[in-house]
Structure 1
Amino acid sequence: MADADIGLIGLAVMGQNLALNMDEHGFRVAVYNRTGTRTDEFLRGPAAGTRIVGCQSLATLAQALKRPRQILLMVRAGAPVDDLINEVRPYLEPGDCLIDGGNSHYRDTERRLRELGSDGILYLGVGISGGEHGARRGPSIMPGGDPRAWPPLAGLFQRIAAQVDGVPCCQWVGDGGSGHYVKMVHNGIEYGDMQLIAEAYWLLREGLGLDIDEIQRVFADWNRGVLDSFLIEITAQILHVRDDDGAPLIDKILDSAAQKGTGAWSGADALELGIPLTLITEAVFARFLSAMKGQRERAAAWLPPGLLSFAVEPEKFIARIHDALYAAKICSYAQGYMLMRQAAIANGWQIDPGGIALMWRGGCIIRSRFLNDIKAAFDREPDLENLLLDPFFREELARTLPGWRKTLAMAIGLGLPVPALGSALAFYDGYRQPVLPANLIQAQRDYFGAHTYERVDRPRGEFFHTDWLARSSTGEA
């Protein structure tokens, strides 16, 4: 019988947990997996006793769904999504909707939307964050695409999403690839948060000489204040875990961080749009550097540290490191919102920055108390150009700035790399400067390439060129 509310293709961990989540909220789900044995195992195992329907072919999946059909694709981004769309397309009719719930690049989403739209098939690119637990108990869901597809699906997605203060962490993002774009920036901010936390951990351990138990207590304490967040919480939990021999398990893990590319996508798009996404980009580069384990081990034997003497007072510096982490986090989110703002302008999207903060408050990896402050900032000024200009964040940065600067001074003196903390401060200092030395760069560009320059004593938009060689050889100023 064609009575299933939604179809789901792809029964890896996320797909299985989303299917269970939807079933638990009263939706009848038909599932299909390319490997039929996985479908059978799911139905006999986690899905036993549910109303979930297993299908052994795409044809039977299409037959099991109410019309217009709604089918959620939970497969690896890239070519697998295109291959699956081509396979399922013959079973679809005009008005049916395909939903890509993976980490697809937003330009792929926009291409697929156009291609499927030519056949009258609706398409959504939906960012889903929260990992295995979020998918099962309530993720953050960021839907974008064809706006006609959203009303029939809004009830389902908002019911299975995380709920904070009675508000679902799922709101319509906008047209085209905007849903996947917001998820991409979410992941970039996640890269930045993780790198900042890692740097704070390293300063506590290598800079202050604290043991793992002491650091664990520091993070647990931080999680009760302005840094309250999922990533700080799990950091405290990770540092509490011991290996079978009683040693901290963290010390047994190789210091080479992997990635799946969404952070790099954010950095690449920032370069295209001219946005200084410095912290997130440094977090990506830090992972690249960590992966060069063999080279780093060889370099350690040859490159001198050249350390400076530095008086380290642990208790004072714990508070300073806290402030540095918090201030850099503010800059990271400010940069992420700068990128989303510029992307919306470039692509003609109407996105709600405060609504994005609401979606990220629960279910997702970067969920934190801090997001309420971002929502409040956009409530005060919906067209806020930059979070750093909001009165609340201006005051918070002014309060934490001394500890931030002293933390970086300590790190530099002790030879400890803090690329994310450092790039955030460089961004802050650059953003607050009314005059920068870029005038010299423009003069150099005009000297060797006749690229012209604007003058401070003439209206913007007027361009000038100087024959620098001729004027310098005659001694003219």
Structure 2
Amino acid sequence: MEQAEIGLIGLGVMGSNLALNIAEKGNRIAVFNRSPEATRNFHAEAGALQDRIVPCETLEAFVAAIRPPRPIIIMIKAGEPVDQQMELLKPYLSAGDIMIDAGNANFHDTIRRFDNLKDSGLTFIGMGVSGGEEGARHGPSIMVGGTEESWKRVETVLTSISARFNGEPCVAWLGENGAGHFVKTIHNGIEYADMQMIAEIYGILRDGLRMDAAEIGEVFGRWNGGRLNSYLTEITEKVLKATDPVSGKPMVDMIVDAAGQKGTGKWSVIEAQNLGVAATAIEAAVAGRILSSQKAEREAAETIFGLPTPVELPTDKAAFIDDLESALLAAKIGAYAQGFAVMAAASAHYNWNLPMPTIARIWRAGCIIRSQFLDEITSAFTADPQAANLIVTPAFSQMVKDADGALRRVVSHAALSGLPVPALSSALAYFDAYRRGRGTANLIQAQRDFFGAHGFDRIDGVDQHHGPWGS
């Protein structure tokens, strides 16, 4: 029997969809699940793709079914289960075989796994996959970290299954060990910020302008035809226009306002802080989800404080909605700028040499944060790969200048109305702090020196690093 080109372990929703995608693109794939019944059911339901799928009920048969050197995708719950699965696989593997973690792994785990296999003859790929269930089935954005040799073994298969943007595959090798999973982590951090900002704009339209869900959906639909064209804007329109089949009310109005999270946003914030990079929009988004989960506390606080008296509605509603569009654009630029700044710092710290134009390029289709201006980000970093920050590149600096006034008006209106906009506010504060050559940290340095003798540098360069606080 012809051997499979690649193998996959874990036939949950994501694993099944990815396996079907691989088979549909003309690749022979071996599959294994810890439940043999699940493996049999998957193969039985694969329809016309059955001939390209080799169902295996033991690990020994599974490994034997794959052409050496064997690339094996592990698509199971992240963390310890991956380590356990790797240990179970090892006795059946040979030199050159590649274990591939395609889940949302912590990149520190990926680096550890990669390093642990260095002298074993085996190797490891940490592979970020974005696009959800639909992307896995029909074309995700794929971020690969591992040796270049292992990448070349899987390049043909992964290129065949990835999303396409104007014919270009949205997959790339980004560097050694944890590079792929780190980039996926920051992708998710930007996703958190983008979703939070959209939700804040929704809140202003709902609670500030008193528009219903369908009306707000119309607004997002119009925006999706312009500068804010993106997957998240597109699905926001669809979500807001959907009707609950039980109550007949807008579906979004029937959903408890407590958002979940699986950890990647938090990891983004932790790594940004460890690397000394301000990622305030992502931080605000993570904090927003945490506050959302404290619903009982929020309801109790509302009974104590009440809600602020709303300010008068804008006299020109259409103009204010235009301001909201510009404000969301500016804030999104801030979130992307922060994400790319974190990746640049990590690239230097871990010696990855992350290719910023390539990262923007492979995010243009297939992934959750795909948007119109990722093409512009690609161009900006292609023109200047070493740009200090996205917002100082010519195209984006002009966008920020054009939208600056709108963002200020929106944040001001929200503050006066008592409407929470932590991510929009943080984006504005980030712009203001980043562009101010003379800030206020001189006072902080004086305070630190006063109570802890930490010292400071002087603007005149004089070699005197402590103040006269005791005199």
TM-score by structure 2 length?
0.97
Question: How high is the sequence identity, in percent, across the aligned residues?
Answer: 46
Instruction: Answer yes or no: is 1:422 the counterpart of 2:425.
Output: yes
Shift of 1:311: 4.4
Partner of 2:204: 203
Deviation at 1:67, TM superposition (A): 1.1
Deviations 1:50-96 (A, max 9, x none): 22111111111011111111101101111011111111011111111
Structure 1 residue 37: deviation in Å?
A: 1.5
Equivalences for residues 87-126 of structure 1 within 5 A: 87-126=88-127
Q: Identify the residue that residue 335 of structure 1 maps to in structure 2.
A: 338
SS at match of 1:71: strand
Partner AA of 1:343 in structure 2: A
SS state at 2:173 partner: coil
**C-alpha displacement of 1:209:** 1.1
Deviation at residue 385 of structure 1 after TM alignment: 1.1
- Which of 273, 283, 286 is the equivalent residue of 1:284? 286
Superposition map of 1:243-322 within 5 A: 243-244=244-245, 245-307=247-309, 309-313=311-315, 314-322=317-325
- Aligned 8 A contact 2:209 2:313 in 1: no
Counterpart of 2:20? 20
Per-residue Cα deviation, 1:93-138 (whole angstroms, up to 9, x for no partner): 1111111111111111111111112111121101000011100110
Q: Which consecutive residues of structure 1, in runs of 5 or more, have no partner in the other structure?
A: 472-477
Q: Which amino acid aligns with 1:363?
A: G
Aligned residue number for residue 35 of structure 2: 35
Q: 1:55 and 1:115 mapped to 2: Cα distance?
A: 28
Q: Distance in 1 between matches of 2:320 and 2:202?
A: 12
Corresponding residue for residue 475 of structure 1:
none
Task: Assess if the C-alpha contact under 8 Å between 1:279 and 1:424 holds in 2.
Answer: yes
Counterpart in the other structure of 1:368:
371
* Count of residues in Structure 1 that have an aligned counterpart in Structure 2: 468
> Counterpart in 2 of 1:474?
none
Kept in 2: contact 1:130–1:365 (CA 8 A): yes
- 1:116-155 correspondence to structure 2 within 5 Å: 116-155=117-156
- 1:404 equivalent in structure 2: 407
| Match among 449, 459, 466 for residue 446 of structure 1 | 449
8 Å Cα contact 2:124/2:177 also seen in 1: no
Tell me the amino acid that sits aligned with residue 421 of structure 2: V
The CA RMSD over aligned residues, in Å, is: 1.2
Q: Report how far residue 307 of structure 1 moved.
A: 3.6
In the alignment, is the contact (CA less than 8 A) between 1:2 and 1:63 conserved in 2?
no
Aligned to 2:348: 345
Match of 2:466 in 1: 465
1:455 and 2:458 correspond: yes
Q: Taking structure 1 as reference, are residues 463 and 348 closer, same or farther at Cα in structure 2, changes over 3 Å only?
A: farther
Cα displacement (A) at 1:424: 0.4
Take 1:263 and 1:7, find their aligned partners in 2: how far apart are those partners?
30
Kept in 1: contact 2:326–2:403 (CA 8 A) = yes
Match of 1:16, as an amino acid? S
* 8 Å Cα contact 2:20-2:49 kept in structure 1: no
Shift of 1:316: 1.5
* 3-state SS, counterpart of residue 304 of structure 2: coil
Amino acid in the other structure paired with 1:167: E
Structure 2 segments unaligned to the other structure (5+ residues):
none
When structure 1 is superposed on structure 2, of 241-250 and 294-303 the one drifting more is 241-250
Q: Where do 4+ consecutive residues of structure 1 move more than 4 Å?
A: none
